[in-house]
Chains A and B, each alone.
Chain A
Amino acid sequence: MSIQTELKTPSKLEKILKSGQLAVTSECGPPRGSDAEVIKKKAQMIKDYVDAINITDNQTSVTRLCSLASCIHLKLMGLEPILQMVVRDRNRIALQSDILGAASFDIYNILCLSGDHQSFGDNPTAQNVFDIDSMQLIQTVRLMRDEGKFLGGDNILRPPKMFVGAAANPFADPFEIRARRLAKKVKAGAEFIQTQCIYNVPRFKEWMKQVGDLGLLDKVFILAGVTPMKSVGMAKYMKNKVPGMDVPDEIIKRLSGVPKEKQAEEGIKICIETIQELKEVEGVRGFHIMAIEWEEKVPEIVKGAGLYPRPQV
C-alpha cells in the first residue's frame, strides 16, 4: 500500500485512514424542525462507535434543519462531523461561503454531492441550481484548501482545512463507466469515498477490481457503504423504488424467510456479514454505516463486525 500518509488536515478521519486502520463513519439526518436535541441525541447514541459522523444535506430533497448548523452542534459536543454538501440548492457563492462558515467552526471533513433531484422532495416545484457539479465542488474545496484561493481567484484569509470526500455508486448505470467516474473524482481531488449501500457484493467486487485496474486503490480511501434492512418491506422498497440501488433477490428471500418480528434482527445480521465479507476486499479502507432513522443499531453493528473499540488518534 503506497497510499500517502502525510496529513493534509487536522481531520480525525484522515488520521485514522492514513494510519492504516479501518475507519468507521455513520450518518445522522437532521430533523424537520429546529430542535437541535434531535441531532444531538442521535450523535450521542453512536459517538463511541464511529470515527466521524456525516450530516445529510436536505436528503431526498426534503427540507430539514441545515447540515452546517447540525455539524456545528456536533462539533460543539466535541465530535467529528462530516459536512455533506449538495450542489442542488446553492450556487458557487453560497457553497464557498458555507465552506468558510464550516471552517470557522473547524469542521474538518466535507462530502461533495450532487443531491437528489428536487422532484423527490417536499418542494417539487422548486428551481434547482446546479451551478457547479459534485466534481467541480471537489475541485473547489481543494482549491480553497490547497491554494488558499476562491474560484474567482482571490486569496482566502485562513483557508479551510478539510479532508475532501465524495460518493460513488458502483451499482448505477452505465456500469462500465462507474470506475472511470471514480477516477475523475479522484483526479478532481477526492481523498475519501463513501459508496452507495452495498447489497450486491459480487457486483461491488467487480467494481473494485476495475477501480484497482485503474490504479486508484492507493490514491483514495474507499469506505464501503452499508445499510441494515429493517424489514422485507424496506428491502422491496429499496429494490424497486430507489434509483441506483441494487438489492439482490437473495436478500429479499432471506428476510422473507424469517417471521416479521425477527426481520430487523436478520437485517442486522446480513449487514454484519456483509461488512465481514467486505473487509476481505482489497482496497476497502473502512465502512460507512447508514442506519436510516435506526441510529441506535449502529453500536450493535460495529461491535458485531469486530470494529469496536474505535482507535484513539
Chain B
Amino acid sequence: MIVASKKPIEEVIDYIKDCNKVLIAGCNECVTVCEAGGKKEVGILASALRMYFMNKGKDVTIDEVTLERQCDREYLEEIKHMAPNYDAIVSLACGVGVQFMAEMYKDKPIFPGVNTSFMGANLERGMWGERCAGCGQCILAKTGAVCPVARCAKRLFNGPCGGSTKGKCEINPNVDCAWQLIIDRLKALGRLDDYDELMPVKDWSKDRAGGPRTVVREDLRI
C-alpha cells in the first residue's frame, strides 16, 4: 500500500486560514490502513480545526466526507454536488488522490492533509516500512526478493557497502542493511552463487528519471 503520515495541523491551518467553508475528504484505501487519512483521521482533524477556529473567534464551517477511493473518478464524482459549497477541500488521500481530486474539481483549491511517503507494508502496530520504489523494472528475482533500490540507502546493485555493521545500515542502527538481508535470503535458498554475478548498470528510464510514466494496455482500451 501507499504509506502516508498526517501533516502537522499548523500546515493545514495555514492553507485554509482565509476560508469560511472547508471540506475534509478522507480515503478508504491505503491511508485508512496506515491510519493517516481515513474516516477516523478525518474526524480528528475536523474537530481539531473547528476547535482552533472557534478559539480564534472565527466562524469556519468544517465538514467531513470519506470516499471509497480518491484515485478513481467514479468515487470522486460522489461529492460533485457538495464541492461547489466549499472554499477549499483538504484531501487526506495520498498525493495521487489530491491530484486526481484537483483534476476533477478544476476551480477548487485542493490542499494535501498528509505527507505521502512510500509503498510499503505494516511491520508491527504503528510501524510501516518501505518495500518498493516503483523503479519500473523489477529485479527481485535476482536479489532474493529483497529490493536494494527501495531498501539500500545507496541503492547499490552490488552491495553491501563498507558501512554494513551487524546487519544494520550505516545511516541508522534501526535500519536493516538490505544487502545483509539479500545475502541471508540467498543463503537460505541455497543460491549464494547468485551473489557472484555482477548486476548490470540499471535502465532508469523506466523509473521517475524517464519522466512521468503512463501504463497503456491496448488490450483493455475501449
Could you tell me which A residues sit within 8 Å of B by CB distance?
88, 92, 114-117, 119-120, 128, 130-136, 139-140, 151, 167-169, 172-174, 176-177, 180-181, 183-184, 187-188, 196, 243-244
Contact = CB atoms under 8 A, between A and B. Distances in A.
A114 B148 CA distance: 14
Contact of A130 (B154, B162, B163, B183): B154
Given A173-B177, A177-B160, A188 B198 contact: yes
A199 B61 CA distance: 68
Interface of B: 153-167, 170-171, 177, 180, 183-184, 195-196, 198-202, 204
B163 A139 contact: no
Given A139-B198, A151-B201, A243-B170, A174 B164 contact: yes
A130 B156 contact: yes
Given A183-B196, A184-B198, A172 B155 contact: no
A173 B184 CA distance: 12
A134 B157 CA distance: 9
Please indicate which of the listed interface residues A174, A176, A183 has the most CB atoms of chain B within 10 Å of its own CB. Answer: A174
Contact of B201 (A117, A132, A134, A172): A132
30 contacts: A115-B154, A117-B163, A117-B171, A120-B171, A130-B156, A131-B202, A132-B202, A133-B154, A133-B155, A135-B157, A136-B157, A136-B200, A139-B201, A172-B162, A172-B163, A173-B160, A173-B180, A174-B160, A176-B183, A180-B195, A181-B158, A181-B160, A183-B196, A184-B195, A184-B196, A184-B198, A188-B158, A196-B162, A244-B164, A244-B170
Contacts of A244: 162-165, 170
B196 A88 contact: no
Contacts of B177: 173
A173 B178 CA distance: 12
A187 B198 contact: yes
A236 B157 CA distance: 33
A114 B183 contact: no
Contacts of B163: 116-117, 172, 243-244
Q: Pick the most buried of B156, B180, B184, B199: most chain A CB atoms within 10 A of its CB.
A: B156
A114 B161 contact: yes
Contacts of A139: 198, 201
Nearest to B163: A243
Contacts of B198: 135, 139, 184, 187-188
A183 B167 CA distance: 21
Contacts of A120: 171
Max chain A CB contacts within 10 Å: which of B170, B195, B201, B204?
B201
Contacts of B202: 131-132
Contacts of B183: 174, 176-177
- Point out which of B158, B160, B183 has the most chain A C-beta atoms below 10 A from its C-beta: B158
Given A173-B167, A244-B164, 9 more contacts: A132-B201, A133-B159, A134-B161, A136-B199, A136-B200, A177-B160, A177-B195, A187-B196, A187-B198
